[in-house]
Amino acid sequence: MFNVGIGFGLVIVAITAQFLISKRLKHAKVSRAFSWIAWGGALLGGVGMSSEFGNAVGISAGGAAIASLAALLFIVVDVADRRPDWPAFILICLAPTLMRISGGGLGNVYDAVLTPFDGIITGLRAFMGM
């Protein structure tokens, strides 16, 4: 039986869109739409996966806080320069998990940032019948 969670499923869709942009897609306007699908799917998929296996990965709260800050810096630079590449794409999938594991005041800020995305994930899960 083939069973995936909503987070992993959205990451698969995002990876497919990113692959098609880099290997096959030539139309500029469709490419822009696919890049939104890729990055939105990666972000929502990362948030969905973080709730599925967040604390089971064996990273300390302090280490996750440092890693998430570094990941966010890379993501901001790539988005600001309008040149998203595969490392940034991978980081946008992993950053929500690191953000969810973070503790302390920074973890509370991250929880507030991730809360709207959790609502979107809940709606998508119901829409897709998961």
DSSP letters, 109-130, are HHHHHHHHHHHHHHHHHHHTT-
How far apart CA 23 and CA 61 sit, in angstroms, is: 38
Per-residue pLDDT band for 94 (boundaries 50, 70, 90) equals confident
CA 49 to chain centre: 8
Residue with tokens 């940034």: 88
pTM reported for the whole predicted model: 0.77
Q: What does the pLDDT read at residue 10?
A: 87
User: Tell me, what's the pLDDT at 84?
Assistant: 65
CB neighbour list of residue 71: distance below 8 Å, 6 or more residues apart: 91, 94, 95, 98
Model confidence pLDDT, tens digit, residues 105-120 = 888 888 888 888 888 8
The per-residue pLDDT for range 17-73, each reduced to its tens digit, is 888 888 887 887 888 888 888 888 888 888 888 766 655 666 777 888 888 889 888
Q: What pLDDT is recorded for position 1?
A: 41
